[in-house]
Amino acid sequence: MVENAVSAELNSLRRSIDNIDAALIHMLAERFKATQQVGTLKAEHGLPPADPERERRQIARLRGLAEEAHLDPAFAEKWFNFVVAEVIHHHEQIANGQR
């Protein structure tokens, strides 16, 4: 009996996690659509693919948001750095006419 209750609760929690994962993927897709537009605009105007000052401000902002949400700020920064590296790669491709 207890095993069935635990299994049901586990399945319910996993369904919630799956829904959150789906939402994250859709949000990332929207984010990358916006950053593609930024990359195109930068390429059209000869701006560099990276903006270290903006990245610095964003890291500080996201670390603060993470703290408020009780999420490890170091994890939030790692996530952001991972995403930004991909964004910069896309911007470089756009600037080189590869996208």
Range of the domain at 21: 2-95
pLDDT 10s digits, 45-91: 999 999 999 999 999 999 999 999 999 999 999 999 999 999 999 99
Give the mean pLDDT of the chain: 95
pLDDT at 73: 98
Sign of CA dihedral 53, 55, 77, 65: positive
The two structure tokens encoding residue 63 = 């670390």
List pLDDT tens digits, range 6-35. Answer: 999 999 999 999 999 999 999 999 999 999
Q: pLDDT value at position 1?
A: 67
Indicate the pTM of the whole model. 0.83
Residue 58's CATH number: 1.20.59.10
Residue 2 pLDDT:
73
Total structural domains in the chain? 1
CB-based contacts of 47: which residues, under 8 Å, 6+ apart?
A: 41
